[in-house]
Amino acid sequence: MPFLHGTLRLPNSVIRGLDPRIHALAALPAHADNRLMQGGWVYIVTNRPNGTLYVGVTSDLARRGWEHREGAADGFTKKYGLKRLVWAERHDDIRTAIQREHNIEHWPRAWKVRLILEGNPGWNDLYGLLARARGCAGQARA
C-alpha cells in the first residue's frame, strides 16, 4: 500500500522505508543537524528505461539526486547522463546501506532490472517526488 502524504503518493516498493516516521526526517531542510540523518539510502539511477544503471549510496537522497541531475560531480553518472532516479531503499544504519549497495553492485543486471520493475514498472523518475517532499520544488524538473 503506498504511503500517502497530502497529495504526494510514494509506492512503498519503490522507496522502501519512507513511512511517516522516517518521512518527517526526509523533509528536514538541508541545513538541519546531520546527526539526525544517521541512516542511508541505496539507490539506482539510469538514463532511460532499460538503459545504463548506476547503484549508489547516500545519507541525503534528495541532495544526491539533485547532484546527479545537475552533473555536479564528474564521473560515471555525468559521462553517461544518468539522471533518472528509478529505485531507492532506506536503511536506519548507513553501514547497512553501504553493505546493501555493495551487494547489489555485484548482482547480475537482470536482478537489478527486476528490482526496479517490481516497484516502478514505468521506470518513472522519482526525483520530483523527493524534491517536493523535501521542499526543493524549485530544483525539481518534470
Instruction: For residue 99, give the CATH number of its domain.
Output: 3.40.1440.10
Residue with the bigger pLDDT between 22 and 38: it is 38
Mean pLDDT of the chain: 77
- In angstroms, the CA 26 to CA 37 distance is 8
Cβ atoms of 13 and 86 within 8 Å: the answer is no
- Predicted TM-score (pTM) of the model is 0.69
For 30-74, the pLDDT digits (tens) are: 444 454 458 999 999 999 999 999 999 999 999 999 999 998 978
Tell me, what's the pLDDT at 31?
46
The number of distinct structural domains making up the chain is: 1
Q: What residue numbers bound the domain in which 73 lies?
A: 3-139
Say which residues have a Cβ less than 8 Å from residue 48's Cβ, sequence separation at least 6: 84, 123
- In angstroms, the CA 45 to CA 41 distance is 13
